[in-house]
Copies of this chain bind each other. A is one copy, B any other.
Amino acid sequence: MTIVLGQTLLCQSQTSNEKTRGYRQAHEREILDEFVKLLSIPNVASDKPNIRANADVIVEMMLRRGLKPKLIEVNKGSVPAIYGEWFTPGATRTIVFYAHYDGQPTDPKHWIGSRPWEPVFRSAALEKGGHIVSLPMKGAIDPEWRLYARSAADDKAGVMAILAALDALRSMNVTLTSNIKIFFDGEEEAGSPNLKEVLIRHRDLLTADAWLICDGPVHQSGLKQVVFGVRGDTNVDVTVYGAKRPLHSGHYGNWAPNPAMQLARLLASMKDTSGRVTIEGWYDDVEPLEGSELQAISEAPDYDEQLKSELGISRPEGAGKSLLHLINEPSLNVNGLSSGDVGILARNIIPTTASVVLDLRLVRGNDYQRQVRRLIEHIVKQGFFVTDRDPSDDERSKHPLVAKVSHRNGGYNASRTPMSLPISLRVVEAVQRTTSNKVVRLPTSGGSLPLSIITENLATVTITVPIANYDNNQHAENENIRLQNLWDGIEIYAALMTMPK
Contacts and interface: CB of A to CB of B under 8 A. Distances in A.
Interface string A292-315: 000000000000100011111111
A282 to B, nearest CB: 11
Contact of A342 (B241, B258, B356, B397): B356
Contact of A349 (B251, B323, B448, B475): B475
Contacts of A359: 249-250, 253, 348
A239 to B, nearest CB: 9
Q: How many copies does the complex hold?
A: 2
A340 B445 CA distance: 23
A10 interface: no
A312 to B, nearest CB: 4
Interface in A42-100: 46
A313 B477 contact: no
Contact of A264 (B242, B268, B317, B326): B268
Nearest to A127: B245
Interface string A241-263: 11111111111111111101101
B249 A335 contact: yes
A424 interface: no
A337 B339 contact: yes
A250 B477 CA distance: 16
A260 B342 contact: no
B327 A336 contact: no
A452 interface: no
A335 B349 CA distance: 5
12 contacts: A104-B347, A107-B341, A107-B345, A127-B245, A241-B312, A244-B310, A254-B326, A256-B316, A257-B275, A261-B268, A334-B350, A340-B357
Interface of A: 46, 104-107, 127, 216-217, 231, 233, 235, 237, 241-258, 260-261, 263-268, 270-271, 273, 275, 304, 308-318, 323, 326-327, 329, 331-351, 354-357, 359, 361, 391, 393, 396-400, 445-448, 470-471, 473-478
Contacts of A314: 396-400
A339 to B, nearest CB: 4
Given A257-B316, A271-B261, A245 B476 contact: yes
Contact of A249 (B249, B331, B343, B471): B331
A317 B255 contact: yes
Given A340-B336, A346-B335, A311 B245 contact: yes
Contacts of A251: 216-217, 327, 445-447, 470, 474
Given A313-B396, A475-B248, A254 B267 contact: no
A247 B474 CA distance: 8
Given A235-B346, A314-B397, A348-B475, A361 B253 contact: yes
A347 B309 CA distance: 25
B275 A254 contact: yes
B338 A127 contact: no
A179 to B, nearest CB: 32
A318 B254 contact: yes
A216 to B, nearest CB: 7
B336 A346 contact: yes
B475 A244 contact: no
B334 A252 contact: no
A16 to B, nearest CB: 31
Contact of A400 (B265, B315, B332): B315
Contacts of A246: 473, 475-477
Contact of A347 (B316, B348, B475): B475
A236 to B, nearest CB: 11
Contacts of A476: 245-248, 347, 349
B250 A445 contact: yes
Contact of A257 (B235, B263, B313, B327): B313
Contacts of A354: 337
